[in-house]
Structure 1
């Protein structure tokens, strides 16, 4: 058995949702929101962007309201940040996929520039799949605590998701949203936390043998519900987005920032 095969087998065996205690601790996201606003002035001093469009997709059951602080920061950093304007992220059907495709392509055509897509949780799954459908319109993808594997046992939200969308959502029946662990053919970053109480961190790990070679994982100290406001996530986002198009390199935090980004191996 090769090392790659062994790692895949281990991943399948260990597919499970986060521990109940981690789920109960998700309330700490309130502290992360407080930290976001306490450091908001300093976050505004992060490297400025080149003005390219950034589409931000919310997580399961969430709306643009959840991503408003992040988008406001991105605008202050010089990006042309967009919400998805599609209400709550609940249904996964062909109509929703088509709506997201039209949104992405409209931004691409209106701005004349490739779009970076930031997706939180289920929004990150959508971001990756949109990049697979329209790679020529996407500059890079950044997912936050997203369940990027086909096995839904990685998430505590699987029962609710299947209650609302069925065990085989409409797009899956039409050949979409399968092979979620295969990265799109654009630079792709997965930001994850080992203390995620909704999606087990193993379910967010990208493996380099799956799709694009321009893939990476960035580990942070955060809750799942706080990923969209956690200051360390904002630092990583700003670093990833400021890279010149076509010059993507893996994330390397500054010496003063390394305490925010654990360097542990992600198997």
Structure 2
């Protein structure tokens, strides 16, 4: 079972979502109360850090120390992917100190969850955006593309991966009924696989582009405050 074709086509709203976010950027930043935490944004399959620029800029304007992953386009997992993220996290920690909260969109959320198990003491929390961490890894419209691009079976990434096991840090999953790429229940997860799930009214592409997606990330970050 995969998302409907109508929901998949809904992702064609991406240019409109980006335009809305650009027009509302100042107002969005004013709605978010950042606390100076270091945030690392991890893009989805075939996306580069530029696709999360709007979110990074708004979170930074709101008072967070938001950083891109500085690794270019995400062509899928490699044997050293977690080591590369570790080096980026170390650089952010040297600049700002304290643990880093990971915000991962789609495939980037799987990286975030697994890295939080790999280097728990460096991570303050994990937020996933339309990430298929639960259920059938083929219950989506992206798994064939993932295998083509990465060269690895969707259920056998090149580093240790326990998708459904919750990281030992606060973990929030953002999901949408009209995602269109990922089956909603796979991104929502089950009790015990994440600490909290927040429904968002956006498409899969909208998680990183639409005002609704950015405000939902801010809500998730706020829910993690001690």
SS in 1 for 2:72: coil
The structure with the largest alpha-carbon Rg is 1
Q: What TM-score, normalized by structure 2, do the two folds share? A: 0.91
User: Unpaired segments of 5 or more residues in structure 1?
Assistant: 1-15, 248-267
- The match for 1:195 among 178, 181, 197 is 178
User: Unpaired segments of 5 or more residues in structure 2?
Assistant: none
The answer as to whether partners of 1:227 and 1:233 remain within 8 angstroms in 2 is yes
The answer as to whether partners of 2:124 and 2:170 remain within 8 angstroms in 1 is yes
Q: Which residue of 1 aligns with 2:58?
A: 73
- Structure 2 distance, partners of 1:217, 1:62, is 24
Q: Which residue of 1 aligns with 2:221?
A: 241
CA shift for structure 1 position 41: 2.4
RMSD: 2.1
Cα pair distance change 1:149/1:206, threshold 3 Å: closer
Q: Which residue of 2 aligns with 1:255?
A: none
- Structure 2 distance, partners of 1:85, 1:199, is 25
Q: What TM-score, normalized by structure 1, do the two folds share? A: 0.78
Q: Which residue of 1 aligns with 2:108?
A: 123
Q: Aligned pair count?
A: 226
- The match for 2:209 among 224, 229, 239 is 229
Give deviations 1:64-83, integer Å, cap 9, x for gaps. 11000000001101111111
Give deviations 1:117-140, integer Å, cap 9, x for gaps. 111110111111111111111111
Q: Which residue of 2 aligns with 1:217?
A: 197
CA shift for structure 1 position 167: 4.4
The answer as to whether partners of 1:46 and 1:238 remain within 8 angstroms in 2 is no
Q: Which residue of 1 aligns with 2:31?
A: 46
- Structure 1 distance, partners of 2:119, 2:219, is 24
